């Protein structure tokens, strides 16, 4: 792909983001690349490629926004876990050279849709009354599956399977799988286990009409709803730009210390 117009999206609420933004802007300016700087709260369209400076939450919000414009986003980590990011500030100039030389791939990541809401990682459904379990009824393609008595339910994409769903006991899915994971949070039945379903399925979660419930989107936005919620695959896919050397299982090992004995963890 030809890259002419680049945006730098940064989260000024995160330490060192302004410093890294300035460094990246100088690198691109030296290469005479047309560049615009955007704050995470004022995103706009019209770019061939977007650098995102911040944590995974910043990348998730930016990727959701640019999905409908088919614009690739590339994450720059600022020192924390940064599971979705591709480089650190020390690797910035080398990464820019690779991108401008075309040594990267764009990976489509499926997303979830519920009404006007879209999630790249997950939808989380919980009762609004804290400290109490809730009853949920799960249907797939209008067919009754089971009831859960639990603290909540996570509906996750493969991208989100390494996030809240993993912490709640769900499986890790490779990003290329066309599937969703349904994970009950702290269920009161030991036989309640996560379910992996094809991404073409329609997932319906019915709730107790006497109570209020919340839908959280990628851990960022929260909305109240009642009765039931329907979740399907979004018509859009997030476009994550990955360096050609990136390999999913090495990310698991290096960032999540996957299956490493405690003695090997720094």
What residues are labeled active site? 56
Tokens encoding 157: 């994409």
Does the CA dihedral 62-68-71-74 come out positive or negative? positive
Cα torsion at 181, 182, 183, 188 (round to 10°)? Answer: -160
d(CA 4, CA 9): 16
d(CA 134, CA 238): 32
Beta strand 134-140 pairing with 143-150:
antiparallel
Angle of the 17-30 helix axis to the 92-100 helix axis, nearest 10: 40
* Contact (CB, 8 A) for 65 and 119: no
d(CA 164, CA 204): 20
């Amino acid at each position: 792909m030809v890259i002419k117009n680049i945006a730098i999206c940064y989260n000024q609420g995160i330490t060192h983001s302004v410093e890294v933004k300035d460094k990246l802007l100088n690198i691109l300016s030296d290469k005479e690349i047309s560049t615009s700087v955007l704050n995470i709260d004022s995103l706009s369209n019209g770019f061939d490629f977007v650098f995102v400076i911040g944590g995974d939450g910043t990348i998730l919000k930016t990727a959701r926004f640019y999905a409908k414009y088919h614009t690739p986003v590339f994450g720059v980590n600022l020192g924390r876990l940064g599971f979705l990011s591709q480089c650190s500030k020390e690797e910035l100039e080398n990464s820019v050279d690779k991108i401008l030389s075309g040594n990267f791939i764009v990976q489509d990541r499926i997303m979830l849709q519920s009404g006007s809401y879209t999630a790249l990682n997950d939808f989380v459904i919980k009762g609004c009354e804290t400290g109490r379990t809730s009853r949920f009824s799960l249907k797939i393609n209008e067919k009754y599956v089971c009831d859960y008595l639990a603290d909540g339910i996570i509906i996750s994409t493969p991208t989100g399977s390494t996030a809240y769903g993993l912490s709640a006991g769900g499986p890790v899915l490779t990003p290329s799988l066309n599937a969703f994971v349904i994970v009950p949070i702290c269920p009161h039945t030991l036989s309640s286990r996560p379910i992996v379903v094809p991404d073409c399925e329609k997932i319906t979660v019915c709730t107790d009409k006497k109570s209020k419930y919340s839908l959280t989107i990628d851990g960022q936005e929260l909305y109240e709803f009642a009765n039931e919620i329907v979740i399907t695959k979004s018509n859009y896919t997030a476009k994550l730009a990955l360096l050609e050397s990136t390999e999913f299982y090495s990310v698991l090992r290096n960032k999540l210390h996957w299956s490493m004995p405690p003695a090997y963890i720094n």
